Chains A and B, each alone.
Chain A
Amino acid sequence: MQVEPGEVFGFLGPNGAGKTTAVKLLLGLTRPTRGGGTVLGAPIGDRRARAGIGYLPELFRYQPWLRAREVLELHTRLIEAGSVAATTRVTTATIDATLGDVGLLDRADDMVGGFSKGMQQRLGLGVALLGAPPLVVLDEPTSALDPVGRMDVRSIIGRAREAGSTVFLNSHLLGEVERVCDRVAIVDHGRVLESGRLDDLLGDAGVRIRVTDLPPAALADLDRFGSVTHNDGWLSIASIEPEAVPDVVASIVNAGGRVHAVDVGRMTLEDRFLRLVGGTQPADTGPPR
């Protein structure tokens, strides 16, 4: 697996796939039992590499007895203290700008202990983006955020990319990844199942049909139209010609199924994900495309 400079890379997988472990390996928080890799030209975990990485942990907690601004000042000192090479200088103005970017400028002098989980996650984003590092690693960056917060994070990620940072986004929220990432890797049980550009992964034409009362035997019969998955009331058929869609609907209706919606288009990331990892996984892809 390789992440190119300047891209937003989505790292996907079901719970327990090894996403957070992989991130911790990149940062040297956990040691590999075997294998290896490089980050920013240095071996994973190396201090030289960490000097260029901003990190939002999955378990984001910051000193509750510090003010938001003081947390960023602390991390500024740690960046400057530990950097072996020249890095972007972080000034008071930079800290204010970072707090503004994550929507916390008006709470800059409040104690972190009084922050909601969502605000702490925003603070963590600020810590990760501090000093415009070459690589920003975000581990489930929206897990505590409301829909507005999630939208903010998408624009923050976009701005980080425009500023030249590479963003490594670890998430199991497929809709979020699909909206912001250039490339993704899908992992399960510690192995990369697929990796590539979203356009390439989702390039197949497909149809999604919301259907109820479909007998199991009829579901098996639909295989002749293409690769079928059935999840949460939605049938997805990949690699199907648009001209065949009416025949699919007719087959379902003839078999006793009730069709509520038909969405013709390319496969969603959720479809691709489910096809690769199997089973039914929680997803937040929203309305069908």
Chain B
Amino acid sequence: MRAILTIARLTVAEAARRRILVVLLALTLVSVALTTLGVERLVTLGRASGDANELEIQVGVSQILILVAFMFSFVLAMTAAFLAAPSIAADLETGVAHALLARPIRRADYVIGRWIGLVVIVAAYAAGSGLLEIAAVRLVTGYAPPQPPMAVAFLSAQAIVLLTLALLCSTRLPAIAAGAICVVVYGLGWMAGVFAGIGRVFDAGPLVAVAEASRWLLPSDGLWRGTIYSLEPPAVVLVALGRGGPAADANPFFASTPPPLPFLAWSVAWVVLVLALTVISLDRRDL
């Protein structure tokens, strides 16, 4: 366990020393400031015009908040991929791993330590940026989403899925290739979710089946739906389902239900399985 914690601390220290944390913090502050300014302007204009009642304004703010969350989800996904992709690959390519792994530690300790360090960074970034954004929007509009901690948890979980995949790739591929694969897979996963929604509207069984299968293959989009659901006011869900029925689910920024428990259990199992594969992959590699 001490070896795992040593490597985890090393991973966090590396992100701090390489100024990755400072850059992320600065970008978060800029993003929150700009998006909050935009939301405040829109709400002020809406209230001044008198064309929208307070409920409609609150609904509008919730939708903007979901779009902002999508931006953060994208940034988190990229951060996870590009932090995790070089974390093992670069050590192997430069030879740093030779000195580390010649020490009396298991390769599993090294992989799990790397993973924990990356999870700490990503989760802290998700929590910090997500909660700051929600708090800032609440301050200027008075609107608060129903489940901010759950939204942040789902954002983090999505990023953890991607960083785990990037870590697996980094045991066998160069850092750039591992990062690129994760970005592409993330995009495909999101598109699969969109196709699944559209497929349901048109009752296209095979399309829905393929899209649903890909959602289970890479649970990132299913977890993103959890973020959306946690940010939606219950009234929006009721109104959207009442007016649009199944067609409402075709909207990639709407979720009528939270992710089902079996899916959440699978997501946890998926991370454990991919992490185990990462350990096996590095364990079988000659350095």
Contacts and interface: CB of A to CB of B under 8 A. Distances in A.
Interface of A: 24, 27-31, 47-48, 50-51, 53, 55, 57, 59-63, 65-66, 74-75, 77-84, 124, 127
* Dominant secondary structure at the B interface: helix
Contacts of B10: 63, 74
Contact of B3 (A29, A62, A78, A127): A78
Given A50-B103, A63-B14, A65-B17, A24 B2 contact: no
Given A29-B287, A65-B14, A77-B2, A82 B103 contact: yes
A59 B5 CA distance: 26
A53 B102 contact: yes
Interface residues of B, number: 23
A80 to B, nearest CB: 7
B106 A47 contact: yes
Interface string B97-111: 011111111100100
B14 A84 contact: no
B96 A84 contact: no
Contact of A30 (B18, B99, B103, B287): B287
Interface in B55-103: 94-96, 98-103
Nearest to A74: B10
Nearest to B101: A29
B104 A47 contact: yes
B6 A81 contact: yes
Closest 5 pairs (CB-CB, A-B): A82-B104, A59-B95, A81-B2, A51-B104, A81-B3
A47 B94 CA distance: 23
A37 B134 CA distance: 61
A79 B88 CA distance: 20
B286 interface: yes
B244 to A, nearest CB: 52
A75 B3 CA distance: 10
Interface string B16-33: 011000000000000000
A127 B104 CA distance: 14
Given A59-B95, A59-B98, A81-B3, A24 B287 contact: yes
Given A65-B17, A77-B2, A80-B2, A30 B286 contact: yes
Contacts of B104: 47-48, 50-51, 78-79, 82-84
B99 to A, nearest CB: 6
Contacts of A62: 96, 99
A83 B6 CA distance: 14
A124 B102 contact: no
Given A57-B98, A63-B96, A75 B103 contact: yes
Contacts of A51: 104
Nearest to A137: B102
B3 A57 contact: no
6 contacts: A27-B102, A29-B102, A53-B102, A66-B17, A75-B99, A78-B6
Contacts of B17: 65-66
Q: Which of A30, A48, A51, A78 has the most CB of B within 10 A?
A: A78
A27 B5 CA distance: 23
Contact of A74 (B6, B94, B95, B287): B6
Contacts of B3: 78, 81-82
Given A31-B286, A74-B6, A74-B10, A81 B99 contact: no
A24 B99 CA distance: 11
B95 A60 contact: yes
A62 B5 CA distance: 19
Contacts of A24: 286-287
A81 B105 contact: yes
A128 to B, nearest CB: 9
Contacts of A78: 3, 6, 100, 103-105
Given A31-B286, A50-B102, A124-B99, 4 more contacts: A50-B103, A75-B103, A82-B3, A84-B104
A47 B106 CA distance: 8
A74 B109 CA distance: 15
B95 A57 contact: yes
A63 B286 CA distance: 21
Given A47-B106, A50-B102, A82-B105, A61 B96 contact: yes
Nearest to B95: A59
B49 to A, nearest CB: 53
Contacts of A82: 3, 103-106, 109
A63 B172 CA distance: 21
Contacts of A61: 94-96, 99
A80 B1 CA distance: 11
Nearest to A111: B17
Contacts of A74: 6, 10
A124 B18 CA distance: 22
